[in-house]
Amino acid sequence: MKGRVKDLSLAEQGRLKLEWAMKHMPVLMRLREEGRDKRPLAGLRIGAVLHVTKETGVLMMALKDSGAEEVVLAASNPLSTQDDVAAALVEYGIRVYAWRGQSSEEYYWCIRQVAESRPDIVLDDGGDLHAMLHSEYKKLAGEITGGTEETTTGVIRLKSLEREGLLLYPVVAVNNAYTKFLFDNRYGTGQSTFDGIMRATNILVAGKNVVVAGYGWVGKGIALRARGLGARRVIVTEVDPIRALEAVFDGFEVMPMSEAAGIGDIFVTATGNKAVIRREHFEKMKDGAILANAGHFNVEVWIPDLESLSVRKRVIRENVTEYTLRDGRKLYLLAEGRLVNLVAAEGHPSEVMDMSFANQYLAVKYLHENKGRLEKKVYNPPRELDEMVARLKLETMGIKIDELTPEQAEYLKSWSYGT
């Protein structure tokens, strides 16, 4: 069975997109070349739930070329699938269950196909596959060698399973690699979020007031890029005092959302939390305010409140829904409150996903090589693999760095040198 995608005749366009991504993912391509030679994943069955993009496509091809017996892929978001890429991957021999614009039932049906493919190793983004395996497929989950998790929210869900003693296989939290979150979450989301906002609206950012909810790695990148695009005021909202202070010292205004609500022209949520923008905030917003989410699922902008406050709702442009409130004000929700960078644009640029997915590839290899030796825990990626990704990335960028002299190495190890 080849899976289910929208239209196989889109494969040629998808192949071109994959080719473009490969050109910009040199680290992953190097691992793929090595994998072709050594076939380190020979015979493995791999199940993945990731955004079906050109970058994910390159990862799936690398896994297959490294000997995986079967690679099954479903989408980690109902709206983020690039249908042409999905078709090209089917042609390449990957079993894909993904199309753009799935209903909730279709979305979970596709993930179910991955679970039922009896994978040895599972890759997930957001934790929906892990959650399904730990609730409906416990027996199958018990046979899994290990899993990986791509994003902050997924890691939080897995840690909660671990804490409750319910985790059924070891997991590598790929998100926690430095070469992932420092780059993907920050620079990847920073750029692609504005790419999504601009593609959806074509509005000018210069001169606008941008409110960023959450100053984690994602929020930092978004605030940085908002400033770079000439926003008049960049306002950060936080609940964590340390991160709030960091935002202040980075030169941003910090205030509660209840205050920021009346000031912002563009709101971007990046907290991984629910109902960060809700009724009391919508009630204060200016006419024309734009609402976008770059964080967890479609719960950060609380849509039920927006719906109940509105007298009219219509799609005014692709990925832009206009809500007319009782007093006539209009608020514009982008991408149905889902990840604006993946729904209204193409997700992170390939150069950033190069590192995230090199980490995914190495995590799969690590789980396979350490089969039976790992506990049912959430592991951070081994430091030496993280450093290897950074070294390879620098090398492919033609950047050299210094090495410690033997005296320096000795100095750093010793406690005995004083002033």
Chain residues in the site for ligand NAD (CB under 6 A): 151-153, 181, 185, 189, 213-219, 237-240, 243, 270-273, 276, 294-296, 339, 341
User: How many Å apart are CA 159 and CA 173, to the nearest integer?
Assistant: 10
348 is in an annotated binding site: yes
Binding segment for ligand SAH (CB under 6 A), chosen from 34-42, 149-157, 309-317, 382-390, is 149-157
215 is in an annotated binding site: yes
Quote the tokens at residue 76: 């980690």
Residue 115 sits in the site that holds ligand SAH (CB under 6 A): no
Residue 348 sits in the site that holds ligand SAH (CB under 6 A): yes
**Range list of β-strands (E), 224-329:** 233-237, 253-254, 266-269, 290-293, 310-317, 320-325
Tell me, residue by residue from 169 to 198, as one string, x for binding to ligand SAH by CB under 6 A and - for no binding: ---------------x---x----------
Phi, psi of 333 (to 5 degrees): -100, 125
Tell me, residue by residue from 35 to 54, as one string, x for binding to ligand SAH by CB under 6 A and - for no binding: ---------------xx-x-
User: How many Å apart are CA 210 and CA 204, to the nearest integer?
Assistant: 12
221 is in an annotated binding site: yes
Instruction: In angstroms, give the least distance from the CB of 236 to ligand NAD.
Output: 8
What does 55 bind: ligand SAH, ligand NAD, none (CB cut-off 5 to 8 Å by kind)? Answer: ligand SAH
User: How many Å apart are CA 111 and CA 76, to the nearest integer?
Assistant: 8
Asked if 181 and 175 touch (Cβ cutoff 8 Å), the reply is yes
Strands 330-334 and 320-325: antiparallel
Residue 353 sits in the site that holds ligand SAH (CB under 6 A): yes
Go through 150-171 and write b for each residue having 16 or more CB atoms within 10 A of its CB, e for each that does not. Answer: bbbbbbbbbbebbeeeebbbbb
Closest to ligand SAH by CB, 296 or 368: 296
**Range list of β-strands (E), 341-417:** 378-379
Phi, psi of 314 (to 5 degrees): -150, 155
Instruction: In angstroms, give the least distance from the CB of 41 to ligand NAD.
Output: 26
Query: For 251, what's the count of Cα atoms within 13 Å in the CB-facing half-sphere?
Result: 7
What does 216 bind: ligand NAD, ligand SAH, none (CB cut-off 5 to 8 Å by kind)? Answer: ligand NAD
Of the candidate residues 3, 147, 347, 381, the single one contacting ligand SAH (CB under 6 A): 347
238 is in an annotated binding site: yes
User: How many Å apart are CA 76 and CA 87, to the nearest integer?
Assistant: 17
Beta bridge partners of 124: 49, 149
Instruction: In angstroms, give the least distance from the CB of 215 to ligand NAD.
Output: 5
Beta bridge partners of 149: 124, 173
Cα 105 to its chain centre, rounded Å, is 22
Instruction: In angstroms, give the least distance from the CB of 247 to ligand NAD.
Output: 9
Of the candidate residues 150, 265, 354, 386, the single one contacting ligand SAH (CB under 6 A): 150
Write out the binding residues for substrate.
Answer: 53, 125, 150, 180, 184
- Residues of this chain that interact with ligand SAH (CB under 6 A) are 50-51, 53, 55-56, 76-77, 125-126, 150-151, 153, 184, 188, 296-297, 339, 342, 347-348, 353, 356
Write out the binding residues for NAD(+).
Answer: 151-153, 185, 214-221, 238, 273, 294-296, 341, 348
Write out the binding residues.
Answer: 53, 125, 150-153, 180, 184-185, 214-221, 238, 273, 294-296, 341, 348
